[in-house]
Chains A and B, each alone.
Chain A
């Protein structure tokens, strides 16, 4: 796998993660979303959709050049990033089973993506 492909996988991951955080922020009623105006929610939701759209097309470009079973497992790394960032930005509770489970999934994903 080339450095360019790895960079694009990083872009797909970053935009996917940002999109997920923003969507949750726009849709939730509690935590940092509490009391948020409807107008602000619409903008955050739109930004989330934009991030996920970028991720979709970068992913599509990668799939034209690589095997799905090579590309897709890298996206699984987002589980670690999303869980940590959800705890940081959305103030979600990070429990021990969640940390252990997340690390197991991430390790499994690394093995699945090994070529």
Chain B
């Protein structure tokens, strides 16, 4: 009866879990990247708009580690999930990054941005319904 169904994945390797890990890694990566960029903004560079001087900061390298971790999770997720469904969900980072910047870097969030964050959360919940429907097939 169940021979036609795909094998069940462990919770860790489930594409939903991998998207979640990608979101958390992406948030950590962006905040660390900003810390690295801040510490190296005044260093001289031949190509200033590429931000290569950021590589002089340990925060930037830690950011790269999180970027790579997120990348591997992302590759695992999009092998199975449609890109047009998985990618919108990664925009949870749009909520987590401003909140992280507010908490860790002391950047301000004005009321308009709070409204934007609420809209993003609403959009994520709508897309998540598509995601939930897909879950039955994974």
Residues 12-34 of A at the B interface (beta carbon under 8 Å): 20-21, 23-24, 27-29
Contacts known (A86-B83, A112-B117); A63 close to B123, Cβ less than 8 A: no
Query: Is there an interface contact between B41 and A64, defined as CB atoms closer than 8 Å?
Result: yes
Q: Is B118 an interface residue (CB 8 A)?
A: yes
- Which of under 10, 10 to 19, 20 to 34, or 35 or more describes the interface residues of A? 35 or more
Judged by DSSP, the binding face of B is: helix
Q: Is the CB of B49 within 8 A of A8?
A: yes
Whether A72 pairs with B30 at a CB distance below 8 angstroms is: yes
Q: Which residues of B contact A59 (CB under 8 A)?
A: 33, 51
What chain B residues lie within 8 Å of A60 (beta carbons)?
33, 36-37, 50-52, 54, 60
- B119 in complex: contacting residue of A28, A92, A111, CB < 8 Å: A111
Q: Which single residue of chain A is at the shortest CB-CB distance from B113?
A: A112
Contact partner, B88, options A65, A87, A105, Cβ 8 Å: A105
Complex Cα–Cα for A71 and B113 (A) = 13
A101 contacts B130, CB within 8 Å?
yes
Sorted nearest first, the 7 A-B pairs with minimum C-beta distance are A111-B116, A108-B119, A104-B123, A60-B51, A61-B51, A112-B116, A108-B120
| Known A60-B52, A107-B119; 15 more pairs at CB < 8 Å | A57-B52, A60-B37, A63-B33, A68-B33, A69-B107, A72-B94, A83-B84, A98-B84, A101-B124, A101-B127, A105-B119, A107-B123, A112-B94, A112-B98, A112-B117
